[in-house]
């Protein structure tokens, strides 16, 4: 790191990556804007049923029977294992309390699939009323907003605003990227994914904060160095920690992806991507943005004087 | 800093700190242990069930039906039958119901499989969420609007009466959509009189003057909240007692938000059966029958559609009913025997005394939801019976239909009555196989993640790696122990995901410290000194990094619902325990082993 060539290299590399980050972010926003999300049952309301059938039965056999029975286009998705299907359709039953009515309007899946001559096992089913879906969506939005605001408040309290904005931009970058992935692949965006996005908020900051902590330390300790140099030194000093922690977290999330089964798949993928971009953005854009905003050791001088009377 | 650290004893923890550490670790270990053993499905036979068979005979009888019994405990007349296979629980309950006199006393439950000495210490396994255990979950919505409406309508009636009694001419009462009353009065004197009456008899209503001598009357904000709370409370109570009828000890009935009730029924596989009990909202009311064409009356249809004029306000609401049972009366007709509480009995007695020989109508209301999601009430007269004599707090009504219908009605009435319509807005069923699969997958992922992390840390930080690994293992022990200890803590599938994430992130604390120690060693300090300054300089970074994640965990917990709360819980607890073990426990270990190591060229 004392080699000037290396630092020059690093600075260039950092700027390059920042440019890539910004490009990716613009792309991500476009993708979200164009494709939108495949909102899950939690947010839209409706019915999801997971069933187990004979492995030989194909979706083309299921589809017409289901469409006729529920009088709509039923989404049939093959689940993690052969013979398992996830059916999704809008709620036709008014989820009413009147038992007699509910009994009549409830289409019995066993009867619907009777022509296939197979044993139908209902593994799980969820019915969410439309108003609940809307409420959950609102709550999710509020949660995201509140978490962001709290983090913003904490960051501006702990760090100078230029340094904080770097971490914040990196954070937005990660969240947007993960969201774009879900928009692009049209994987279902449900409550668990929302939880993952919120967890990414926390973890992405983790990396940024640790580097920012170092930058602050160096700014105070070596005020004569150029800001580029300080940033590079901070990155180098924390690099092995960044790699080890991201590595172990990626490994455990990877384990969750492999072993966790269907219900946790989306969650693990979201976390996996979030941790990858989180590491990337905290090194690149997270440190470069404060530089562009003109962070200098001066900004931490005033604090030193007030700290040590 | 340097001067200070030279003065105190370097890398020394006093004995009490070790004591705290060891005691908390042991307690947490004991607390975490029962979870390892898990829980067995069991059927509980209450003392009043009238089970006459001795445990051995009972076992033989069950075994003859192909049930493998793990053990049978009999204590104070209560019998607990612990089963080997979870899916036989319902079967056993059915088998038992023919062996006892009171099938109501049979309940499905879970018994800890841990050895009895652990259970005697008071340690319980971690409570599993529905997504791990299988079962049915409902979210009910309590519609408060009709309650306000009833209140407003009652006030309209008494205002009209007041106007009549006071002989105020040219006054009119109008009830609008928002349950606000508009009272048009002829002059200010009349307004003052109404205000006085309202102040004395209805202090909970807010009055405001309108143009002329008119008044606008509405329920005050506090009163609305109070009414809402009371209504939801009443419904909670009703739901609890209805759920009791299902015989599930682990059932959960909980208020969620302003006007929602969450019901979790672990072990239930058929939502329809549960729905039949909790679903239907029935209430019963007794009305005075008026002459047809009467002005001050409302019209209800009977089952054949014939209109019947009854008083606007019921003589008695269903909330005074204590007990209702169906039976076959004389001539084999189904009837429902009703017991009232004292107040209800008095009211009924008073009313029936002056109305002997006159008819009394019993109305049955049901609340349902139409296609647009709006609550609608269907109210019909199920019987019009002539009052034969003065009724007390015990009487019976006939004409409830077949015996089965009478039984259904009695069941609903027994659980009390509900004055607000309750509708199911969310329903989730998780099959038991899927629940077991989720547990297996989740813990397999946890095991794999933990294994990789332990291996990696051991290889990467050779000399200090074992410290990080012990810290990580004790972190998990404490985390599991806490989850079992904290009342209301529930482990869900996202919660397991949180545990797995914690494993990956928990080592961060140690990594940060070790990297700092490495730095200090590079600067040429002795190992002991590097340890001391390493820990000190890493602390603020660790705190900063964990604090932001803590923010998201808290936000998630306060805003999320069941499974997500489980994630927030393990995430947040994991942060706390990882700080405890990563900083405190690993420092304690390092102090013991390397605390006096003055060598300089150590590789970590």
In chain B, the residue whose alpha carbon lies closest to the alpha carbon of A256 is: B445
Cβ <8 Å between B519 and A237: yes
User: Is B87 part of the contact surface with chain A (CB cutoff 8 Å)?
Assistant: no
CA dist B569 and B566 (Å) reads 5
Query: The domain that contains A82 carries what CATH number?
Result: 3.30.70.100
User: Is A81 part of the contact surface with chain B (CB cutoff 8 Å)?
Assistant: no
Question: In the listed set A128, A152, A186, which residue is the last one of a domain according to the structure?
Answer: A128
- A interface mutation test: which of B501, B543, B569, B575 has the most A CBs within 10 A? B501
Separation in Å, CA of A74 to nearest CA in chain B:
19
B359 beta partners: B386
Do A158 and A251 lie in a common domain? Answer: yes
Question: Which pLDDT value is given to residue B367?
Answer: 60
Residue B247 lies in a domain: no
Query: pLDDT tens-digit profile of B527-578?
Result: 888 888 888 888 888 888 888 888 888 988 887 766 788 888 999 999 999 9
Question: Which pLDDT value is given to residue B6?
Answer: 47
**Most confident among A193-197, B110-114, B431-435 (mean pLDDT):** A193-197
Closest CA to B571 of B485, B514, B504, B472: B504
Strands (E), chain A: 38-39, 46-52, 75-78, 84-89, 121-128, 188-189
For CA atoms B324, B327, B333, B339, the dihedral sign is negative
Interface size A-B, in CB pairs within 8 Å, comes to: 250
Do A150 and A26 lie in a common domain? Answer: yes
B366 beta partners: B282, B378
CA dist B477 and B304 (Å) reads 67
Size of chain B in residues: 604
Question: Which pLDDT value is given to residue B505?
Answer: 85
Task: Judge whether residue B359 has pLDDT over 90.
Answer: no
Q: Are B350 and B316 in contact (CB under 8 A)?
A: no
Closest CA to A118 of A52, A74, A68, A70: A52
User: Is A258 part of the contact surface with chain B (CB cutoff 8 Å)?
Assistant: yes
Query: pLDDT tens-digit profile of A115-133?
Result: 777 778 788 888 887 777 7
**Chain B residue numbers touching A245 (CB-CB < 8 A):** 504-505, 507-508, 511
Do B19 and B46 lie in a common domain? Answer: no
Do A185 and A265 lie in a common domain? Answer: yes
Tokens 């019947």 sit on residue: B308
What's the whole-number mean pLDDT along residues B436-464? 89
Q: Say which residue, B584 or B391, is predicted with more confidence.
A: B584
Cβ <8 Å between B368 and A101: yes
B207 beta partners: B217
Cβ <8 Å between A255 and B449: yes
Do B23 and B50 lie in a common domain? Answer: no
Question: Per the structure block, which two tokens stand in for B300?
Answer: 């209800």
Task: Judge whether residue A304 has pLDDT over 60.
Answer: no
CA dist A167 and A282 (Å) reads 7
**Most confident among A171-175, B12-16, B127-131 (mean pLDDT):** A171-175
Do A256 and A169 lie in a common domain? Answer: yes
- B interface mutation test: which of A150, A244, A247, A271 has the most B CBs within 10 A? A244
What's the whole-number mean pLDDT along residues B302-326? 77
Task: Judge whether residue B477 has pLDDT over 70.
Answer: yes
Report the percentage of chain A scoring pLDDT > 90.
Answer: 13
User: Is B456 part of the contact surface with chain A (CB cutoff 8 Å)?
Assistant: yes
Do A164 and A303 lie in a common domain? Answer: yes
| Closest in B279, B445, B547 to A97, CB measured | B279
Enumerate residues 6+ apart whose C-beta is below 8 A from B506: B471, B472, B475, B574, B577, B578, B581, B582
Cβ <8 Å between B139 and A125: no
Query: The domain that contains B53 carries what CATH number?
Result: 3.30.70.1510
Cβ <8 Å between B501 and A249: yes
Task: Judge whether residue B479 has pLDDT over 90.
Answer: yes
Q: Are A112 and A65 in contact (CB under 8 A)?
A: yes
Do B576 and B447 lie in a common domain? Answer: yes
Do B48 and B196 lie in a common domain? Answer: no
For CA atoms B232, B233, B237, B243, the dihedral sign is positive
3-state secondary structure of B122: coil
Question: Which pLDDT value is given to residue B128?
Answer: 85
Confidence class for position B374, pLDDT limits 50, 70, 90: low
Confidence class for position B596, pLDDT limits 50, 70, 90: confident
Do B17 and B67 lie in a common domain? Answer: no
Do B491 and B590 lie in a common domain? Answer: yes
In chain A, the residue whose alpha carbon lies closest to the alpha carbon of B556 is: A143
What's the whole-number mean pLDDT along residues B176-200? 83
B74 beta partners: B79
Query: pLDDT tens-digit profile of A211-244?
Result: 888 888 888 888 888 888 888 888 888 888 888 8
Confidence class for position B47, pLDDT limits 50, 70, 90: confident
Phi/psi at B304 (nearest 5 deg)?
A: -95, 5
Do A280 and A180 lie in a common domain? Answer: yes
| Mean pLDDT of the residues in chain B | 80
Tokens 């947040």 sit on residue: B572
Residue B419 lies in a domain: no
Do A244 and A202 lie in a common domain? Answer: yes
Confidence class for position B437, pLDDT limits 50, 70, 90: confident
Domain tally, chain B: 4
Do B469 and B501 lie in a common domain? Answer: yes
What's the whole-number mean pLDDT along residues B345-354? 85
Domain tally, chain A: 2
**Chain B residue numbers touching A252 (CB-CB < 8 A):** 449-450, 452-453, 500-501, 503-504
Cβ <8 Å between A195 and B564: yes
For residues B560-597, one letter each, b for 16 or more C-beta atoms within 10 angstroms of the residue's C-beta and e for the rest, the string is bbbbbbbbbbbbbbbbbbbbbbbbbbbbbbbbeebbeb
Confidence class for position B373, pLDDT limits 50, 70, 90: very low
Query: The domain that contains B587 carries what CATH number?
Result: 1.20.1640.10
3-state secondary structure of B215: strand
Task: Judge whether residue A202 has pLDDT over 50.
Answer: yes
Query: pLDDT tens-digit profile of B128-171?
Result: 888 888 888 888 888 888 778 777 777 787 788 788 888 887 78
Closest CA to B246 of B280, B278, B214: B278
Q: Are B163 and B198 in contact (CB under 8 A)?
A: no
Task: Judge whether residue A145 has pLDDT over 80.
Answer: yes
- A interface mutation test: which of B409, B449, B534, B578 has the most A CBs within 10 A? B449
What's the whole-number mean pLDDT along residues A93-111? 51
Query: The domain that contains A27 carries what CATH number?
Result: 1.20.1640.10
Report the percentage of chain B scoring pLDDT > 90.
Answer: 7
Question: Per the structure block, which two tokens stand in for B188?
Answer: 């200010």
Size of chain A in residues: 309
Confidence class for position A104, pLDDT limits 50, 70, 90: very low
Residue B271 lies in a domain: no
Query: pLDDT tens-digit profile of B481-514?
Result: 999 888 878 888 889 999 998 888 888 899 989 8
Separation in Å, CA of B7 to nearest CA in chain A:
22
Task: Judge whether residue A1 has pLDDT over 60.
Answer: no
Do B438 and B583 lie in a common domain? Answer: yes
Confidence class for position B472, pLDDT limits 50, 70, 90: very high
Do B588 and B445 lie in a common domain? Answer: yes
Query: pLDDT tens-digit profile of A59-80?
Result: 888 888 888 877 777 888 777 6
Residue B184 lies in a domain: yes
**Most confident among A179-188, B123-132, B168-177, B204-213 (mean pLDDT):** A179-188
**Most confident among B64-68, B315-319, B401-405 (mean pLDDT):** B64-68
Cβ <8 Å between A244 and B507: yes
Task: Judge whether residue B281 has pLDDT over 90.
Answer: no
**Chain A residue numbers touching B430 (CB-CB < 8 A):** 123-124
**Chain A residue numbers touching B367 (CB-CB < 8 A):** 97-98
Question: Which pLDDT value is given to residue B314?
Answer: 84
Question: Which pLDDT value is given to residue B8?
Answer: 60
**Chain B residue numbers touching A140 (CB-CB < 8 A):** 559
Distances (CA, A) of B3 to A87, A220, B528, B536: 70, 21, 15, 14
Question: Which pLDDT value is given to residue A269?
Answer: 93
Question: Which pLDDT value is given to residue A308?
Answer: 43
What's the whole-number mean pLDDT along residues B103-130? 81
Do B54 and B107 lie in a common domain? Answer: yes
Do A20 and A168 lie in a common domain? Answer: yes
The DSSP result for B529-567, as a single string, is: HHHHHHHHHHHHHHHHHHHHHHHHHHHHHHH--HHHHHH
Domain span including residue A14: 4-40+133-307
Question: In the listed set A128, A148, A169, which residue is the last one of a domain according to the structure?
Answer: A128
Question: Which pLDDT value is given to residue A30?
Answer: 93
Cβ <8 Å between B425 and A256: no
Question: Which pLDDT value is given to residue B174?
Answer: 82
Cβ <8 Å between B571 and A199: yes
Task: Judge whether residue A114 has pLDDT over 50.
Answer: yes
Enumerate residues 6+ apart whose C-beta is below 8 A from B171: B163, B183, B184, B185, B186, B190
* DSSP designation for B101: S
CA dist B510 and A305 (Å) reads 32
User: Is A126 part of the contact surface with chain B (CB cutoff 8 Å)?
Assistant: yes
CA dist B492 and A181 (Å) reads 26
Weakest mean pLDDT among A105-109, B438-442, B541-545? A105-109
User: Is A249 part of the contact surface with chain B (CB cutoff 8 Å)?
Assistant: yes
Confidence class for position B478, pLDDT limits 50, 70, 90: very high
CA dist A118 and A109 (Å) reads 12
What's the whole-number mean pLDDT along residues A282-288? 85
| Closest in B453, B552, B561 to A248, CB measured | B453
Q: Say which residue, B219 or B401, is predicted with more confidence.
A: B219
Distances (CA, A) of B364 to B381, B417, B418: 6, 11, 12
Chain A, residues 133-192, CB within 8 A of chain B, namely 136, 139-140, 142-143, 146-147, 150-151, 154-155, 158, 191-192
Enumerate residues 6+ apart whose C-beta is below 8 A from B547: A154
The DSSP result for B499-514, as a single string, is: HHHHHHHHHHHHHHHH
Q: Are B353 and B321 in contact (CB under 8 A)?
A: no
Question: Which pLDDT value is given to residue A6?
Answer: 59
Question: In the listed set B189, B221, B253, which residue is the last one of a domain according to the structure?
Answer: B221
Cβ <8 Å between A122 and B431: yes
Query: The domain that contains B206 carries what CATH number?
Result: 3.30.70
CA angle B585, B591, B593 (to 5 degrees): 105
Helix A161-185 to helix A285-292 angle (10° resolution) is 140
**Chain A residue numbers touching B515 (CB-CB < 8 A):** 238, 240-241
Question: Which pLDDT value is given to residue B549?
Answer: 85
Question: In the listed set A82, A103, A128, which residue is the last one of a domain according to the structure?
Answer: A128
What's the whole-number mean pLDDT along residues A293-302? 71
Task: Judge whether residue B279 has pLDDT over 70.
Answer: no
Q: Say which residue, B591 or B227, is predicted with more confidence.
A: B591
Separation in Å, CA of A295 to nearest CA in chain B:
20
- A interface mutation test: which of B424, B494, B511, B552 has the most A CBs within 10 A? B552
Question: Per the structure block, which two tokens stand in for B369?
Answer: 């939801």
Cβ <8 Å between B559 and A129: no
Do A139 and A210 lie in a common domain? Answer: yes
Question: Per the structure block, which two tokens stand in for A168?
Answer: 């914040």
Do A246 and A139 lie in a common domain? Answer: yes
Q: Are B170 and B204 in contact (CB under 8 A)?
A: no
B191 beta partners: none
Separation in Å, CA of B405 to nearest CA in chain A:
12
Cβ <8 Å between A255 and B448: yes
| Closest in A95, A146, A205 to B555, CB measured | A146
Report the percentage of chain B scoring pLDDT > 70.
Answer: 89
Do A173 and A271 lie in a common domain? Answer: yes
Do B344 and B468 lie in a common domain? Answer: no
Closest CA to A259 of A50, B483, A251, A196: A251
Phi/psi at B263 (nearest 5 deg)?
A: -120, 125
Confidence class for position A296, pLDDT limits 50, 70, 90: confident
What's the whole-number mean pLDDT along residues B58-63? 83
Question: Which pLDDT value is given to residue B416?
Answer: 47
Domain span including residue B511: 2-35+431-594
Tokens 């060891």 sit on residue: B22
* DSSP designation for B243: H
Residue B177 lies in a domain: yes
Do B17 and B65 lie in a common domain? Answer: no
Question: Which pLDDT value is given to residue A176?
Answer: 92
What's the whole-number mean pLDDT along residues B463-492? 89
Task: Judge whether residue B70 has pLDDT over 70.
Answer: yes
Do A140 and A101 lie in a common domain? Answer: no
């Amino acid at each position: 790191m004392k080699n000037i060539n290396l630092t020059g290299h690093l600075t260039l590399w950092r700027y390059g990556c920042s440019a890539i980050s910004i490009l990716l972010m613009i792309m991500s926003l476009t993708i979200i804007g164009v494709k939108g999300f495949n909102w899950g049952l939690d947010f839209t309301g409706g019915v999801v049923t997971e069933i187990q059938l004979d492995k030989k039965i194909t979706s083309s056999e299921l589809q017409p029977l289901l469409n006729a029975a529920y009088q709509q286009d039923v989404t049939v998705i093959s689940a993690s294992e052969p013979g398992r299907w996830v059916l999704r359709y809008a709620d036709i039953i008014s989820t009413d309390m009147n038992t007699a009515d509910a009994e009549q309007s409830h289409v019995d899946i066993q009867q619907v699939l009777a022509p296939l001559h197979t044993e139908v096992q209902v593994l799980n089913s969820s019915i969410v009323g439309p108003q609940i879906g809307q409420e959950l969506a609102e709550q999710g939005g509020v949660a995201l907003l509140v978490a962001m605001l709290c983090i913003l408040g904490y960051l501006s309290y702990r760090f100078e605003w230029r340094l904080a904005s770097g971490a914040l931009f990196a954070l937005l970058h990660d969240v947007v990227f993960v969201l774009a992935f879900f928009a692009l692949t049209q994987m279902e965006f449900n409550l668990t994914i929302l939880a993952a996005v919120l967890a990414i908020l926390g973890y992405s900051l983790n990396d940024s904060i640790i580097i920012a902590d170092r930058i602050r330390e160096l700014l105070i300790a070596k005020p004569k160095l150029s800001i580029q140099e300080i940033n590079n030194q901070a990155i180098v000093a924390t690099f092995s920690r960044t790699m080890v922690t991201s590595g172990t977290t990626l490994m455990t999330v990877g384990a969750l992806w492999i072993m966790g089964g269907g219900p946790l798949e989306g969650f693990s993928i979201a976390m996996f991507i979030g941790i990858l971009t989180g590491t990337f953005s905290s090194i690149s854009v997270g440190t470069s943005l404060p530089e562009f905003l003109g962070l200098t050791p001066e900004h931490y001088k005033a604090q030193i004087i007030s700290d040590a009377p | 800093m340097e001067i200070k650290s030279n003065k105190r004893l370097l890398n020394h923890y006093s004995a009490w700190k070790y004591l705290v550490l060891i005691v908390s670790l042991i307690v947490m270990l004991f607390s975490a242990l029962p979870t390892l053993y898990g829980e067995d499905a069991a059927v509980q036979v209450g003392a009043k069930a009238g089970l006459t068979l001795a445990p051995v005979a009972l076992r033989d009888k069950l075994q003859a039906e192909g049930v493998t019994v793990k053990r049978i405990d009999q204590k104070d007349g209560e019998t607990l039958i612990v089963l080997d296979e979870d899916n036989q629980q319902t079967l056993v309950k059915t088998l038992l119901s023919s062996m006892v006199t009171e099938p109501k006393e049979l309940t499905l439950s879970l018994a800890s499989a841990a050895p009895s000495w652990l259970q005697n210490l008071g340690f319980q396994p971690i409570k599993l969420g529905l997504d791990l255990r299988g079962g049915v979950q409902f979210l009910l919505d309590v519609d408060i609007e009709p309650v306000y409406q009833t209140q407003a309508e009652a006030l309209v009636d008494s205002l009209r009466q007041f106007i009549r009694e006071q002989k105020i001419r040219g006054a009119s009462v109008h009830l609008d959509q928002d349950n606000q009353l508009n009272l048009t009065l002829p002059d200010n004197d009349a307004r003052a009189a109404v205000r006085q009456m309202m102040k004395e008899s209805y202090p909970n209503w807010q009055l405001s003057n309108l143009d002329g001598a008119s008044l606008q009357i509405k329920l005050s904000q506090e009163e609305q909240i109070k009414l809402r709370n009371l209504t939801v409370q009443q419904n909670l109570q009703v739901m609890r007692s209805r759920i009791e009828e299902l015989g599930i000890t682990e059932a959960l009935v909980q208020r969620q938000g302003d006007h929602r009730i969450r019901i979790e029924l672990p072990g239930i596989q058929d939502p329809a059966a549960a729905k039949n009990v909790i679903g239907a909202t029935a209430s019963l009311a007794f009305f005075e029958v008026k002459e047809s064409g009467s002005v001050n009356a409302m019209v209800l249809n009977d089952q054949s559609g014939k209109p019947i004029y009854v008083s606007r306000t019921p003589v008695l609401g269903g909330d005074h009913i204590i007990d209702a049972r169906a039976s076959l009366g004389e001539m084999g007709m189904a009837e429902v025997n009703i017991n009232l509480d004292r107040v209800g009995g008095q009211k009924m007695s008073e009313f029936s005394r002056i109305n002997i020989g006159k008819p009394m109508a019993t109305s049955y209301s049901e609340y349902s939801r139409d296609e647009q999601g709006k609550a609608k009430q269907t109210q019909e007269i199920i019987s019009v019976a002539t009052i034969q004599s003065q009724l007390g707090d015990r009487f019976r009504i006939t004409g409830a239909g077949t015996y089965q219908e009478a039984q259904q009605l009695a069941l609903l009435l027994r659980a009390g009555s509900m004055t607000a319509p309750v509708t199911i807005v969310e329903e989730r069923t998780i099959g038991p196989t899927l629940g077991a699969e989720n547990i297996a997958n989740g813990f397999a992922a946890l095991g794999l993640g933990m294994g990789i992390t332990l291996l990696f840390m051991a290889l990467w930080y050779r000399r200090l790696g074992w410290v990080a690994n012990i810290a990580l293992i004790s972190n998990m022990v404490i985390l599991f122990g806490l989850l079992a200890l904290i009342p209301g803590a529930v482990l869900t599938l996202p919660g397991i995901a949180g545990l797995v994430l914690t494993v990956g992130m928990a080592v961060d604390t140690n990594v940060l410290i070790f990297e700092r120690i490495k730095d200090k060693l590079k600067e040429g300090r002795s190992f002991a000194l590097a340890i001391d300054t390493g820990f000190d300089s890493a602390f603020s970074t660790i705190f900063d990094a964990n604090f932001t994640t803590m923010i998201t965990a808290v936000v998630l917990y306060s805003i999320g619902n069941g499974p997500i709360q489980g994630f927030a819980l393990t995430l947040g607890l994991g942060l706390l325990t990882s700080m405890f073990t990563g900083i405190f426990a690993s420092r304690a270990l390092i102090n013991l082993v390397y605390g006096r190591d003055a060598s300089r060229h150590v590789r970590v």
